[in-house]
Structure 1
Amino acid sequence: MSRSILFLNFALLALLATGGLELRRRWLEARQHELDVLTLKPLPAIPAPAVAVSSGEPAKVQAAQYFEVAEKFLFSRDRNPNVVIEAKAPPPPKVMPDFPGVYGVMDIGMGPTVFMSLGNAPQQGYKLGEKIGEFTLRAANQKEITFEWDGKDVTRPLDELRSKAKETLASAAPVERMNANVNHSVAELPREKPPENVRPAPGNDIGGGRKGCLPGDSSPGGTVADGYKKVSYTYAFGPICYWESSR
């Protein structure tokens, strides 16, 4: 054999011996690790926290529990739990207007008729339930007048309302005299005369199954025409004329 072959064989034997020693060393380490794991004592068990078990229904969620969440809502910094309620001032009390002036009360069996005027307006007869200004006539007799205003009844003595009508007439008299002086130079227009020889007949319906009289109708009371009977007489405030059914 040559020297090179002998040297190569010697190198291979040395390599095999070194690999065997390294393999044995690793096997011994693995064995020792296995023994250490098997002989390791277990750690004491940690007890689990006690959980309270309720026997009843869960508590209901209250809206007040979320106040802090609403106050600290980052996407809306203007959140304010204190609601400011602006107190509105109450409306001023309604002022009652002046009562109308009363000139008299008439009752001929068809309910009272009250002759009144508001301000300087001419007087006019009003039945129960009719309005004059803001007032509604509710009741009337020879002592007192009752109106309805703003949903409540207001009663005034008849003498008080009559004196108010006299004051209105007194204050309106100078104005009428002034107008008469201004218009004195103006030619007076001829007044239209009522028609004459009007055929006795009932006029327009005035309520209560009655009809009014036509201008120029001079037929006496008791005249019958078109199924109606004429009623005509003179009262303290002037003549009364109407037609009532004769059937």
Structure 2
Amino acid sequence: MSRKIILLNLALLALTVTLIWQARKHYLEMKAHEREVLRQSVRPRQVLPPPAVPAPAPVAAVQYIDVAQKTLFNKDRNPNVVVEPPPPPKEKPMPALPTYFGQIRLGDPVIFLAFGNGGQKRFYTGDKVGEFKLIAFDNEKITLGWDDKQVEKRLDELKAKADQGPSQSSAAAAAQPAASPAAGSPQIKSLSGPAVLDPAKPDSVLGPDFGDYRGCVMNDPTPAGAVVDGYRKVVTRTLMGNSCHWEKAK
């Protein structure tokens, strides 16, 4: 056992001596290489001289023309005349909207409109209403065309006010046909409102003038097709009963 330990110690000693010898050898070689490098002289690198700077050109007076033209003390020296564009054209004011008095939606729908204090007239879709064009309408709103624009308004906003007089208010009520009191009974409805027949006047059977036609009066005994003062009586049967009006005889 002691012999093996002695041999192991000798082997370790030999390995240690070998490592020390190799380290010293490497150190001596490194020092020799260092001395050899330090003995060498560095050759200076040849540097080319910078290019010569070109001489500035002589100053000419024309080079200062921009300064002279744009001087802040005299704007008239600027030859470029600034032309201001013309102002955009003012938008054409929209004319007053017509007054709404009612509509009849039997067959081809018709609406009753008026301008200012003028009398009301009937209009169909596509008709000219003053400066407007009637595009469409229903029970709640109306669409008018003006100057390549569409103006949409509620009918409540165009209704006749109370201060426009009783004549227009009665005409507005005349545009709405009254309901039949008894279904199936041949009642004659009046488009002009509750006017009373006066036998003393020959034209009492003709109601208010709506332009191309006139309304009927209450309790008018004139038969359908009768011609009075150039107007022919027309009676139309509807779901709510009969509706009558006078149109110009052709």
Which category describes the TM-score, using the shorter chain as reference length?
0.3 to 0.5
Report the structure number with the largest CA radius of gyration.
1
- The one of the two structures with greater contact order (alpha-carbon pairs below 8 A, sep at least 6) is 2
Normalised by the length of structure 2, the TM-score is: 0.38
